[in-house]
Structure 1
C-alpha cells in the first residue's frame, strides 16, 4: 500500500494535537510519524483495524505514554506535563476501564467528582438510574458493559471541553451504544465539546462524527470531513491492458485474477481524478464510508 501523505498542521488553538508521533513495541513500529490536530468543537472518529495503533496514539496524545519521538499538546500544553487546570478540562475513557474497582459505582463517582469544578452530580445520578446500574454494587462485580457505562458517566458528568473515548462502544449492546452516541452528539452540539473517539464500527462514525481519520499500520492515511469522503475518494478500476498506467500514489490497490487493477484514488487540488481515469475502459466507482474503510484496511 502506498500511503498518501496528509498535510495536517497542529495549531496553537487545537484542544488536542500531535506532531510526528513515533512509537514501537518489541521492535515493531506502532506509530510512524503521526500528525493529527482537532479543531475546537469538532467530533473526530479515529478508525482502523484492531492493532492499527489507535489506543497507542490516543495514549501518546494524552501524555499517558512517552513516544519515542514527536510531541503532543493538550490545550497548548505539553501532554507529558499537563497542569491541573488542563486535566480538569478533559475526560478520557479507556477501552477497558479498571481503575478504582474496589469502590462501588456511586463511591467512585462521588470521589472523582471532587476533582472537577463543573461536576454534574444530578446527571451522574439520573444516568445511573436510566442505564439501570446499581449504585451500591462494586465496580469489580459489574459486567464489562456496565463497567464501561459507569466510566462513560464519569467522563460525561465532568462536563469536559475535550472528551476522548477509546472504543467506547466495545462492550455496549446496540441500545446502549445508540444512547451513548446521542449523548456525544448532544454534548458536541450544545456545549461545543471537542470529541475524539476511536472505533472500527463505521456506522458509529456516520451517526456523530464531523471528521474522520484513518489509521493503518501506524500511519495516518487520511483526515477529512465525513461528508467530504464520498466526493474526494473513489475506486478506480483499470482493465489489465491499461493497469500499468495506474497512478503511483493510492490509498489501496488490489490486483484481480483477470489482471485488472482497482485502487482508491483522490481528487487533486482542482477537483480532478488522476489521468488514468480517462484511459480506455477505466471506471470510477463511488465509495461509501464502509467501502472506503474496507478498501484501505485490507
Structure 2
C-alpha cells in the first residue's frame, strides 16, 4: 500500500455540503497569510514554527476582533487571557512545539517592537499569541532548537501559499498514530469565506476513541462577527475534531482561536467605536458554525494525507497513513462508504 501524497478530496472524501474556497486553505480569506520555518536537521531535530497573519498591515496598530475556546486546557499557550478579556488580536498567531513557546514569543515580540517603536514607551505593551503541541516523539524537544529568529523569519515569509504535513510547527507532530502536522481547509458561506488551519498531534493507532496529544485550530473569516460571536465560532471546532475520533483526552491541549478580518480596530481610535455585526439569529450564522466544523475535520485529514513518513529522535518513526487505512478509520468514525 502506497502512502498518501494528496489531499483528502483527491481520494474521494467529502466533508459537509458547503463549497470550498478557491485553494481550500485558510488564506482563501482575503488578507490572511501563513509563514512557516521548518527545522529538519540531523537525526533528532524535527520541529518548526508556523505564523498566521490576519492581514498584511501593522497588526499592532490595526487589531482584529477574536475569540478563543479551550476544549481541554493541557496546554502552554500565551496570550489567550487578554483575547478573552478584550476580544482583540494584535499579533500574528504563532504555532510551535511546547518548549519553544518562550523563544517564539521573544522572536514575535522582537518583530512587533521593530515595527512599532512606541510599544513600551509612549504606548502600552503588546499581547503576543503563541500556541503549541508536544513533538517530543520525533523531535529533541529538550534541545530548544527553535530560536527567536525562526519566529521572526516565519512572519516575514508569510504568503498566500500554505504548506501541509511535515512543515513548520507540524514537522514533528503525530495524529491518530500516524504522521500528522499542518493541515488547512476553507468554505464559502454565502457572501463570505471561512478558513481553518490546524496543527494535529492527537490520537493513537487502534485507539482512535481514546486519543492522547493535542491540537491547535485557527479559524479565520471575513464575516462581520463580534468577539462574543467569534468565541462561539471557536467552540464549533470541537465538532470537527470529534468527527475524527477525539474525545479531548485528559492530557491533550485542544485549543481554538477564531478571528474576523471584517473590521480593523485602530490602536488609537476614536473614543466611541461603531460596529455592525451579523445578528446571532441570522440563518447564515448556522452556516458559519457548519463551515467551521466541516473545515476543521477536513483540515485534520489534510494534515494526515499530506504528511510523509518521518524518522526522528532515537530512531522513532511515524509513518504516513495509507489510503486504505484512512478510509477504514473514517468509515469506522462516521459510517461512510467510500
Give the number of the structure whose alpha-carbon radius of gyration is greater.
1
| TM-score bracket, shorter-length normalisation | under 0.3
**Structure-1-length-normalised TM-score:** 0.24
**Structure-2-length-normalised TM-score:** 0.22
